[in-house]
Amino acid sequence: EVKKYILEIEDLEVRYGHIQALNGVNIQVEKGKIISIIGSNGAGKSTLLNTISGLVKPVQGKIRHHGDEIQGKPAHAIVKRGIVQVPEGRKIFGGLSVRENLVVGGFLLKNQKKRNELVDEMFALFPRLKEREQQQAGTLSGGEQQMLAICRGLMIDPELILLDEPSLGLAPVLVNEVFKLIKKINGLGITVLLVEQNAKKSLALSDYAYVLENGSIFTQGKGEDLLANEDIQKVYLGER
């Protein structure tokens, strides 16, 4: 079986001054899958996503997208390639309506008619947002804001979506909704690279996962295998 990788990360190294945030990281993202990165606070998870999306420049290593080296390229060039990041903390435009947030997300589409069609597609997929189309986005619930942030990312019709802690700060029932949403997105054929502190739920959802610690990959494997691994359970799944 020949695996098709969208992204191949090789020996990636990132520093902030004297802080070594990533050190020799190797990750492969197979097309159509959900891949997750778990790890403690400060492990380097956000740094990894920010480096892929062009917000942070690595000092060493390669990131290949369909074979092309993209490390160090500016963020707008990465988005154009169909890689979109949904940042931690949602960061929607609170003063704009739900519809306006989506329209802004579709900035790459110069054709306004196409853009509006895509907004309507989002509303068909997520009726809950449709019901709140004209509502000021800042007044949405936390879960709805997260849904909107993800949909806004989908407005570039991405091949790969990078999700940074989508369940952060959400009530448990909303956490479940966000994980369902991720599954739904993946069902549309979009590959997902997910960074999460909620290790149990993300491993259960993932085809494959990496555990990042102190800037290095500590272990990796199929989501189900890591879930069943006793060491992982002790450290990351809150079981003794």
Binding site for ligand ATP (CB under 6 A): 16, 19, 21, 39, 41-47, 197
**CB-nearer residue toward ligand ATP: 135 or 197:** 197
* CB of residue 127 to ligand ATP, shortest distance in Å: 32
Of residues 36 and 47, the one with the C-beta less far from ligand ATP = 47
- Nearest approach, Cβ of 65 to ligand ATP (angstroms)? 21
Q: How far is the CB of 180 from ligand ATP (least distance, A)?
A: 23
CB of 158 to ligand ATP, least distance (A): 21
Name which of 40, 42, 37, 48 is nearest 14 in CA terms.
48
Task: State which residue, 39 or 58, has the beta carbon closest to ligand ATP.
Answer: 39
> What is the C-alpha to C-alpha distance for residues 23 and 237, in angstroms, rounded to an integer?
25
Residue 189, both tokens: 């054929």
Classify residue 111 by burial, with Cβ atoms within 10 Å: 0-12, 13-18, 19+: exposed
- Tell me if residue 70 falls in helix, strand or coil: coil
**Identity at 68, one-letter amino acid code:** D
Which CB, 105 or 166, lies closer to ligand ATP?
A: 166
**Across the strands, what pairs with 114?**
none
- When the beta carbons of 22 and 185 are compared against ligand ATP, the nearer one is 22
Nearest approach, Cβ of residue 100 and ligand ATP (Å): 29
CB 3 within 8 A of CB 17: no
Report whether 178 contacts 166 (CB < 8 A).
Answer: yes
